[in-house]
Amino acid sequence: MAGSPETIFTVDPVALKYGAGALRELGVDAVALGMKRVMLVTDPTLAALAPVATAREALRAAGIDVVVFDRVRIEPTDASFRDAAAFATEGKFDGFVSVGGGSVIDTAKAANLYSTYPPADFLDYVNAPLGRAVPVPGPLKPHLACPTTAGTGSETTAVAIFDFVESQVKTGISSKFLRPTKAVVDPTATYSLPAGVVACTGFDVLTHAIESYTARLFSSRPAPADPLTRPPYQGANPWSDGGALRAIELGGRYLVRAVTDPADTEARDNLTFAATLAGLAFGNAGVHIPHAMSYSVAGLNHRYTATGYENEGGMVPHGLSVVINAPAAFRFTADTAPGRHLTAARALGATGGGLSDAGDILAGQLEHMMRATGIPSGLKALGYGEGDIPALVDGAWKQQRLLVMAPKEVTRDHLATLYGAAMRYWD
């Protein structure tokens, strides 16, 4: 009954194929989905590397007409989404294969959507308040998503994120129809990633999982008048909790190893599996304050050059823009559910302390891992100062879809305090 407390959560996960060599079976997967002419979406760097070559050869060996689109921008913009959508519309494809990180997979989602159901205006499908949040009319064309980073979980989620340049903030599109048809996860595709990229994407995994586990409970929402209108982000629930905790545990055990030793394939494999689990968890439960804060951190700064991203020009990579806020955010939310925050800290590898200082324990363990993997010490290290806080707050405040998933009310004043706390964590 509408207005009464929610008692139901739903699980609609993406089909998954996981394991070394999975990319070599792409042709079989594509044929099974009826694909005949495919847009293979990737970025300029990956286009010349083994994962894309393997995917292209597997598709062509299955008799599929493959056209490569390699103009994906890392941290895509509204302009780069439009470029991919125009290519997809002109190409008249009946399927999509994305090989790359979250930027590539999100670009393929957008190209699929805009070419399948062309809107009157680009902003029609974009989340409010920046866009009009027009519902996606129906199912999209088949999409096989093949991640090459252990991070975003985009291969399992119902969102596509981009930098809305005009507004200097990140936003996105959210619809259950954006979920790829199948995630094809081959951990060997991550072996060539530079350490800096592994660090940024790996912390995206951890913050996804911790935010999912500490999000408001699904039962704290009112039941919808129409069951079909339950949001993609439903709140923490027994199903999402299991994947989130396992992802936190794997990240705590293997992230530092994966960054500090490029030859440690066991660590890379386990971090990739953690990314998949975290994607399934947060795609169901949602994320909250660290991600909401991240969109203005990335959207306002196009000068910073992150380690491992030197060829991409000035930008703050998504995983960095998220984790830089996380210690401050979890100190703030810990009083709502100290047990959950302490459980997350323990899964991450923290010892000592108790419920009364759960937020400090969780934040401190994250800070320890950030230092061990070369993550900057706070927003000041990215070039921000106290004078930037009003603009950062303005950008975060627009992310109400995420802020509403926090376990406690978040005001503009709270955000200002949190950005201040995130300026520097250690000397």
Which structure tokens are listed for 328?
């401050």
Joined together, the tokens standing for residue 313 give 């020009």
Give 146's pLDDT tier (boundaries 50, 70, 90).
very high
- pLDDT at 200 (0 to 100): 97
289-299 vs 326-333: helix crossing angle, rounded to 10: 150
Residue 1 above 60 pLDDT? Answer: no
Can you give the pLDDT at residue 151? 84
pLDDT in tens, 42-55: 999 999 999 999 99
Q: Which domains does the chain have, with CATH numbers?
A: 21-185 (3.40.50.1970), 195-421 (1.20.1090.10)
The rounded mean pLDDT for the chain is: 95
User: Strand 182-185 relative to strand 169-174: parallel, antiparallel, unpaired?
Assistant: unpaired
Q: Cα(277)–Cα(145) distance, rounded to whole angstroms?
A: 15
On whether the CB atoms of residues 304 and 388 are closer than 8 A, the answer is no
* Amino acid 427: pLDDT: 87
pLDDT of res. 152:
84
Interval 93-118 mean pLDDT: 97
Q: List, for residues 376-396, the tens digit of each pLDDT value.
A: 999 999 999 999 999 999 999
DSSP string, 22-38: GGGGHHHHHHHTT-SEE
The stretch 364-378 carries a mean pLDDT of 98
pLDDT band with cut points at 50, 70 and 90 for residue 167 = confident
Pairwise pLDDT comparison (192 vs 255), residue with the higher score: 255
* 296-313 pLDDT tens trace: 999 998 899 999 999 888
Exposed / middle / buried, residue 254 (Cβ in 10 Å: 0-12, 13-18, 19+) = buried
**pLDDT tens across 156-165, in order?**
999 999 999 8
**pTM to 2 decimals?**
0.93
User: Per-residue pLDDT averaged across 228-256, rounded?
Assistant: 95
Best CA proximity match to 324, nearest among 212, 206, 413 = 206
| Reported confidence tier of residue 278, pLDDT bands at 50, 70, 90 | very high
Task: Lay out the sheet containing 65-69: strands in order across.
Answer: 15-18, 182-185, 143-147, 95-100, 37-41, 65-69
The pLDDT of residue 425 is above 90: yes
Looking at residues 395-400, what average pLDDT do you find?
94
pLDDT-derived band at 235, boundaries 50, 70, 90: very high
Compute CA distances 54 → 99, 189, 301, 321, whole Å: 10, 10, 35, 32
Distant-in-sequence, close-in-space partners of 348: CB < 8 Å, separation ≥ 6: 206, 210, 248, 249, 251, 252, 362, 365, 366, 369
pLDDT of amino acid 36: 98
Lowest mean pLDDT among 138-142, 163-167, 213-217: 163-167
Is the pLDDT assigned to residue 65 strictly greater than 80? yes
pLDDT higher than 90, residue 37: yes
Provide the pLDDT for residue 3. Answer: 67
Examine the pLDDT at 2 and tell me if it is beyond 60.
no
221 Cβ contact list (under 8 Å, min separation 6)? 5, 6, 234, 235
Q: Dihedrals φ, ψ of 125, to 5°?
A: -85, -10
**216 in Cβ contact with 332 (< 8 Å):** no
